[in-house]
Structure 1
Amino acid sequence: MTPVDAVCFDLDGTLFDHQGSARAAVVRFLHSLDVVASESTIASWFAAEEEHYERWRSGEISFSEQRRRRLRSVLTPLGVDVPPGDVEIDELFSGYLRAYESAWRAFPDALPLLRSLRASGHRIGLLTNGTEAQQLAKLRRTGLFDAFDVVCTSERIGFAKPDARAFAVLASELGVEPAACLFVGDDPVKDADGARAAGMQTLLIADHRRRGLPIGELIASSIAASEGAR
Structure 2
Amino acid sequence: MLNTGEPIQRVVIKVGTNVMTNKDNRIVGTILKQLVDQIAILYERGIMSVLVSSGSVIAGKEVLSTGVDIEEETIRRQVYSAIGQPRMMRHYYNIFQDYGMRCAQVLATKRDFDPGKHRENMINCYEGLLSEGVIPIANEDDAVSLSMSTFTDNDELASLVAELIGADMLILLTDTNGLYNGHPDDEHTRLFKHVTVDQKVEHFIQESEKGEAEGRGGMESKLCVAKQAAKKNIPTIIANGKLENVIVDIVDGKEVGTRFTL
So what's the TM-score if we normalise by structure 1? 0.45
Where is the strand percentage greater, Structure 1 or Structure 2? 2
Higher relative contact order (CA 8 A, sep 6+): 1
Where is the helix percentage greater, Structure 1 or Structure 2? 1
Which entry has the higher C-alpha Rg, 1 or 2?
Answer: 1
So what's the TM-score if we normalise by structure 2? 0.41
